[in-house]
Amino acid sequence: MIDLRSDTLTRPTEAMRAAMARAEVGDDVYGEDPTVLALEERVAGLFGHEAALFTPTGSMANVLAVGSLVAPGQEVLCEASAHIARAELGAHGAIGGITMRTWTHPRGRAELATISSMFAPDMGPFFVRTAAVSVENTHNFAGGAVLPLGELQELKDWAVGVGAGVHLDGARIWNAHVATGVPLAEYGAIASVLSVCLSKGLGAPVGSLMVGSRDAVAEARVRRKRMGGGMRQVGILAAAGLHALDHHVDRLADDHAHARLLAEACGLDPATVDTNIVVVERSDAPAFVAAAAEHGVRVATVGPTAVRMVTHLDVSRADAERAAAALAEL
């Protein structure tokens, strides 16, 4: 079976397991795990921010990050199919007391004209106050689309001027970086606070980080513990993340090439596939998923008529070619 349901399905390599086994550890709730501290410092530095916080999931990193910008009773603006809106099971409302207002764009774009027209910083005791804008890069449900850097810079400049925060859901910012060559620090610069995942294409078994200012991260450390996310000798997991940063970033280009193979097999223009995710519109989506499974390829629906396939570390060139042949037949 070639499993294209998600890039979270990767299993740690032997070399990653060896790095985990020899990790130096301490109690991270006491701030004494040297491997976690090294990972946090390294990731903060990559994005040009002051500090970072290791979290068990990207969802928790997002809740902490958005919560650092938006108080209970305020709103964040985001695209309608953003992960924070669709796939975090209402956490921002249930935990953060935050509401969302959304715009829609088929490629997940963050166009300033749309966003500025929705912005409501202070309309007295009548309307919810907008505190922040959230963007997702790459955009998962828009098929791994990369948001243009210029558009994000324009958004950030505007946000600074009007006093709004910018949250970047950078679960797959590594893919955007490899696809475009834009330095991670330039993506970091468009955000007040961001989240990044180690457990997607980078192939770590667990782990994400919230990245931001020293103050925002210090506050998030308290809120992480409150949510039950204070972890102890978690350097074992941070070591997997450090190993992934050393060995699994550049190779994402292979995943992108494999995704273009799959797109072509499905009759899409491969030039529309920016990174490692292909979303195919099929009126018979559930039947298509079942038929693909019979051909040895696992794919998943992400909407009533949307089928998603994701390439990753555990899908070799030969696997991608075999999957493409099977999908072309379907």
Ligand X SMILES: *Cc1c(COP(=O)(O)O)cnc(C)c1O
User: Which residues of this protein are in contact with ligand X, per CB under 6 A?
Assistant: 57-59, 62, 83, 136, 140, 169, 171, 197, 199-200, 208
Cα 275–Cα 281–Cα 287 angle in degrees, nearest 5: 115
Rounded to a whole number of angstroms, the minimum distance from the CB of residue 39 to ligand X is 16
Q: Extract the tokens encoding 313.
A: 């570390």
Nearer Cβ to ligand X, position 88 or 324?
A: 88
Q: How far is the CB of 136 from ligand X (least distance, A)?
A: 5
Residue number, 40 or 136, with CB nearest to ligand X: 136
Strand spans (E) along 42-83: 51-55, 75-79
| Contact between residue 63 and residue 222 where contact means Cβ atoms under 8 Å apart | no
Minimum distance between the CB of residue 294 and ligand X, rounded to whole angstroms?
A: 28
Considering the complex, state which of residue 16 and residue 171 has its C-beta at the smaller distance from ligand X: 171
Find the shortest distance in angstroms from Cβ 6 to ligand X: 8
CA–CA separation, 86 vs 139, rounded Å? 12
User: At its nearest, how many Å lie between ligand X and the CB of residue 151?
Assistant: 18
Measure the CA angle with vertex 119, ends 118 and 125; round to 5°.
Answer: 110
Of 83 and 248, the one with the shorter C-beta distance to ligand X is: 83
CB atoms within 10 A of CB 177: 23
Q: Which residue is nearest to ligand X (CB)?
A: 58
Instruction: CB nearer to ligand X: give 28 or 136.
Output: 136
Please spell the DSSP secondary structure of 92-153, one letter per residue. HHHTT--EEEEE--TT----HHHHHHH--S--GGGSPPEEEEEEESSBTTTTSBPPPHHHHH
